C-alpha cells in the first residue's frame, strides 16, 4: 500500500513539473506563482473568477480559513475543496493554513480534528515528546487534507504585553534557545509528513505593543537583537524552507521606517545576505491595516517585491478589505515591470525559489 501511495504522489506532482519543463513558461505564469489568495467560500464553482485564475496559472497558492469548514464531514469536504483547486492548477498549488494550535487553530475539535494546545503551553511544559506528539498530529492532519504549507511555528520572543502574540499564547518562550528547540521539533514533524513550515514573523514581532491587523506597529524602542537568534539557530541547522515577514517598523534595522515586509534592508540585506537565507519569503497578509491603510496596493506590491518577498499573500479575511483577483494582481505587477519599477530578474529569482520549494513537496 505504501508503494502505491508514493506512486500516486509521484504521478500527481512529477508530471505537471515535467510537462511544464517541456514548454516555454510565460512571464505572466511566473508572476502568478507569486500570488496567494484566501479562498472566499467552500463552493466548487468552475465559473468563478478565482477558479479561472487558478486554471490560467494566475494564482500559485491558496490559503484556508475556518469559514470553509462545514459542521458535518469537515475533513472530507475540505479535502474535496482542496482537490478541486489542485486539479484545476497547471502546476500544484501551495495550499496553506495557519494551524499554530491554541487560539490560532482553524481545525478545531468541534469539526472532528485532534486537539492542539498553544505554543506557550508547550514551551512552559518544555517536554519534547509532548511537542512532537502534537506537532505530528497537526502535520498528519494537514497532509491528509492536501494542505502542504503551515504558517507556523511562531518563533517570536514571548512578551506578556504583546496584544496579538504573547497575550494569545502564540509564542513558545522568552528564551530564544527554548524557542529554537521546540520550533525544530515542529519543523521535523512537518517535514516527515511533507508539509512545509513557515517561520514567523521576521525579524521579530514579539515586543510589539500594537496589532498589525489593525494598524502600523513600531518596535524600534523595544526590539532586541536576540529576537534573531531562533532564525540564526534554525538556519545553521539547515531546517528553514520558508519565512514570513512582519509588518513592523524597526528603525534599528531600517532607518527609513519601512515595515519589514517592504524593506530591502531587512529582507534582502539582513535575511538574504547576512543570514544567508535563500528559501521562500512569504509576506504576511498584504491586506492587514499596517500595510493597506498606509500604502496604496500598487505601491505596497512594488516595495514588497523589491524588498525580496517571493509570495504575496492576500487573505480576503480582513474586515473592510475586499477580496482581490489574481488576474488583477498579475496585471499590476506586469505594469510595474513595464514602468521599470520592478525588475524582471527579481520575478525570475522568486519563481525559481517557489518552484524549488514546490518540487520539494
Q: Give catalytic residues, as residue numbers.
A: 213, 284
Pick from 168, 154, 137, 255: nearest CA to 200: 154
Sheet of strand 312-314, all strands in order from the earlier edge strand to the far edge: 280-282, 242-245, 196-202, 149-150, 94-97, 61-64, 35-38, 312-314
Is the C-alpha dihedral spanning 235, 154, 203, 323 positive or negative?
A: positive
Do 104 and 170 contact (CB within 8 A), yes or no?
Answer: yes
Do 176 and 230 contact (CB within 8 A), yes or no?
Answer: yes
Q: In the structure grid, which three cell numbers stand for residue 320, read together? A: 473592510
Pick from 342, 341, 203: nearest CA to 260: 203
Angle at 217 between CA 168 and CA 156, to 5 degrees: 45
Do 244 and 165 contact (CB within 8 A), yes or no?
Answer: no
DSSP state of 247: -
The C-alpha atoms of residue 194 and residue 191 are separated, in whole angstroms, by 5
Q: Find how far residue 295's CA is from the centre of its chain.
A: 21
φ/ψ of residue 248, rounded to 5: -105, 145
CB atoms within 10 A of CB 237: 12
Q: Is the peptide bond before 153 cis (omega within 30 degrees of 0)?
A: yes
The C-alpha atoms of residue 313 and residue 266 are separated, in whole angstroms, by 18
The C-alpha atoms of residue 246 and residue 262 are separated, in whole angstroms, by 9
The C-alpha atoms of residue 78 and residue 125 are separated, in whole angstroms, by 32
Find the helix or strand (DSSP H, E) in which 235 lies.
Answer: helix 229-236
The C-alpha atoms of residue 110 and residue 89 are separated, in whole angstroms, by 31
Amino acid at each position: 500500500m505504501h508503494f502505491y501511495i508514493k506512486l500516486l504522489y509521484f504521478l500527481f506532482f512529477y508530471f505537471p513539473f515535467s510537462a511544464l519543463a517541456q514548454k516555454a513558461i510565460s512571464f505572466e505564469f511566473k508572476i502568478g506563482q507569486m500570488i496567494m489568495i484566501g479562498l472566499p467560500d467552500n463552493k466548487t464553482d468552475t465559473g468563478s473568477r478565482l477558479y479561472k485564475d487558478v486554471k490560467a496559472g494566475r494564482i500559485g497558492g491558496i490559503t484556508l480559513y475556518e469559514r470553509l469548514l462545514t459542521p458535518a464531514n469537515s475533513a472530507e469536504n475540505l479535502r474535496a475543496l482542496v482537490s478541486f483547486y489542485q486539479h484545476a492548477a497547471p502546476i500544484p498549488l501551495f495550499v496553506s493554513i495557519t494551524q499554530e494550535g491554541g487560539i490560532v487553530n482553524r481545525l478545531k475539535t468541534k469539526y472532528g480534528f485532534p486537539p492542539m494546545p498553544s505554543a506557550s503551553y508547550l514551551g512552559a511544559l518544555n517536554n519534547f515528546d509532548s511537542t512532537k506528539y502534537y506537532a505530528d498530529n497537526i502535520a498528519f492532519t494537514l497532509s491528509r487534507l492536501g494542505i502542504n504549507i503551515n504558517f507556523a511555528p511562531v518563533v517570536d520572543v514571548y512578551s506578556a504585553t504583546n496584544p496579538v502574540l504573547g497575550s494569545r499564547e502564540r509564542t513558545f518562550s522568552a528564551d530564544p534557545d527554548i524557542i529554537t528547540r521546540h520550533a525544530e521539533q515542529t519543523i521535523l514533524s512537518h517535514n516527515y509528513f511533507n508539509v512545509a513550515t513557515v517561520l514567523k514573523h521576521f525579524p521579530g514581532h514579539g515586543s510589539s505593543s500594537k496589532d498589525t491587523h489593525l494598524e502600523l506597529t513600531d518596535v524600534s524602542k523595544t526590539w532586541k537583537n536576540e529576537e534573531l537568534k531562533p532564525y540564526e539557530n534554525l538556519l545553521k541547522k539547515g531546517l528553514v524552507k520558508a519565512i514570513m515577514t512582519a509588518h513592523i517598523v524597526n528603525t534599528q534595522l531600517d532607518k527609513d521606517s519601512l515595515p519589514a515586509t517592504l524593506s530591502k534592508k531587512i529582507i534582502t540585506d539582513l535575511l538574504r545576505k547576512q543570514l544567508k537565507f535563500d528559501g521562500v519569503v512569504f509576506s504576511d497578509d498584504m491586506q492587514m491595516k499596517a500595510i493597506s491603510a498606509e500604502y496604496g496596493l500598487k505601491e505596497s506590491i512594488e516595495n514588497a517585491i523589491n524588498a525580496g518577498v517571493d509570495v504575496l499573500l492576500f487573505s480576503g479575511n480582513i474586515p473592510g478589505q475586499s477580496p482581490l483577483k489574481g488576474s488583477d494582481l498579475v496585471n499590476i505587477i506586469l505594469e510595474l515591470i513595464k514602468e521599470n519599477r520592478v525588475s524582471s530578474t527579481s520575478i525570475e529569482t522568486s519563481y525559481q525559489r517557489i518552484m524549488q520549494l514546490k518540487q520539494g513537496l
